[in-house]
Amino acid sequence: MTRADLWLHGVRLAELTETGERIDLRWTPEGAERHLGQTVLSLNLPVTEPDRPPHHRKVRPFLAGLLPEPQTAARHRLERRLGTTEVLQLLKRSGGDVAGAVRLSAPGEQPGVGSVEHLSDDDVALLLTDPQAAATLGGGSSDALPGVQHKVVLRSLEDGAWGIARHGASSTHILKPRNGPLSLELEAFGAAVSAEAGLTDTPSWIQTIGGVEALVIPRYDRHVQPDGIVRLHQEDMAQALGLNADDLGAKFQRGRRYPSLAAMAGKLKASGGDVEPLARLTALNVLLGNTDAHAKNHSVLLDERGRARLAPAYDVAPLLSFGTTRFALDIAGHQLVDQVDRKALESELRSWAGASSQRSIDHVAAAIDGLASSTSGVVAALPHQLLDDLRTRAAAFTAAHRGRTGSAPLT
């Protein structure tokens, strides 16, 4: 049995107990007094009276969803390094700098302040190229982030160098090494076009550190202030919908009822959030052919009263020209990319975003066309044929609205 206290925004919000695969959560009196009825921790876990705890089957998806996904190399490395498979032990002992603002501590103790250790460029290069390096160089570091791809979380230092956050200190950036011929360039383009579409204000960039290229991504859930780093709370939509965090396939819809874009929109609406940014993000994923836009690649930011808004876009990339033809989430009941035209996209968006659907599609199409036609650095690194295909696809969706022609899949 493992016990821990869960802290959020400086409040001891809940007490946790893990027995086998079961995790129980009990809201503390101080947490209930401050946040009763609010979804400050998760849209799937409104705060209740301490004597009315949530069902344990609603608790595990949130907490396990903070870790690298099961059956992945990242999760196996973490479990081997820490010598445990228990969710609470992994979260407590991996460093304490998980996604969002959650902090865990031993019962009756405060979360640790931690420290930041300066890294040389060669140290960073080692972490990027050798995932096993975390077992020594990264020991005690904050490396428990969701996802399948290898990544490194680091702190940007004032001298322009990088540091590793240990034992509860906060990181500021995520670094992804190259895992394919154009992996960094495609995701950098996706971040840039997301910014053009008003879906992020934290664009990424490609940087060479110690001779190793990496995509550097500022963490939108960390704000650097003169007196320190503020953690913003967030959760991904797999957590918000209570999806089984132990099932790698649960984040994909693939013809099932859940997860769905409509369910995500419903969660946003129920917590006072605006669904128009979700409509724009959906249009962006469709027009770019981003077939990896599953539930864990959509997130919400939660304020200290539990009100939600769509988090900045991340993991957006044009993937269709690389042979992926099936969307992660259905569009108006369609799974295959060549089944989704302007009419299908409008139908999907209109079902939960209403009259803003047409405007969202046109806004995104203009953003893609504008960036793909520019001479910016992220564009210059991509093949001309890919850029031509993206412009053609954006124009087809726009032309379909004008009644001149139907949309066409990217070839």
pLDDT recorded at residue 202: 83
Domain for residue 359, yes or no? yes
93 shares a domain with 45: yes
308 shares a domain with 174: no
251 shares a domain with 388: yes
Distance (Å, whole) CA 225 – CA 219: 14
Distance (Å, whole) CA 325 – CA 310: 26
Domain for residue 410, yes or no? no
The domain in which residue 180 lies consists of 115-225
Which residue type, as a one-letter code, is found at position 204?
S
* Buried residues in 357-373 as b, exposed as e (16+ CB within 10 A): bbebbebbbebbbebbe
CATH assignment at residue 255: 1.10.1070
192 shares a domain with 52: no
Question: What is the pLDDT confidence band of residue 147, given thresholds at 50, 70 and 90?
Answer: low
Distance (Å, whole) CA 240 – CA 54: 14
Contacts with 285 (C-beta within 8 Å, 6 or more apart), sequence order: 293, 316, 327
pLDDT recorded at residue 215: 97
Q: First and final CA of the chain: distance in angstroms?
A: 54
Q: Which one of 225, 251, 281 terminates a domain?
A: 225
243 shares a domain with 217: no
Q: Which one of 177, 206, 225 terminates a domain?
A: 225
Contacts with 280 (C-beta within 8 Å, 6 or more apart), sequence order: 197, 198, 199, 360, 363, 364
355 shares a domain with 246: yes
Q: Give the pLDDT confidence of 294-307 residue by residue, as tens digits.
A: 999 999 999 999 99
390 shares a domain with 243: yes
Distance (Å, whole) CA 11 – CA 24: 19
pTM value? 0.92
Q: Give the pLDDT confidence of 345-382 residue by residue, as tens digits.
A: 999 999 999 988 999 999 999 999 999 998 888 899 89
- Mean predicted confidence (pLDDT) in 167-186: 91
213 shares a domain with 125: yes
Tokens of 36: 């009763």
CA nearest to 69, candidates 315, 249, 218: 249
Domain for residue 411, yes or no? no
- Number of domains forming the structure of the chain: 3
pLDDT recorded at residue 406: 43
Domain for residue 368, yes or no? yes
Q: Which one of 77, 105, 133 terminates a domain?
A: 105
- Mean predicted confidence (pLDDT) in 157-173: 90
Residue linked to tokens 């369910």 = 263
300 shares a domain with 240: yes
51 shares a domain with 141: no
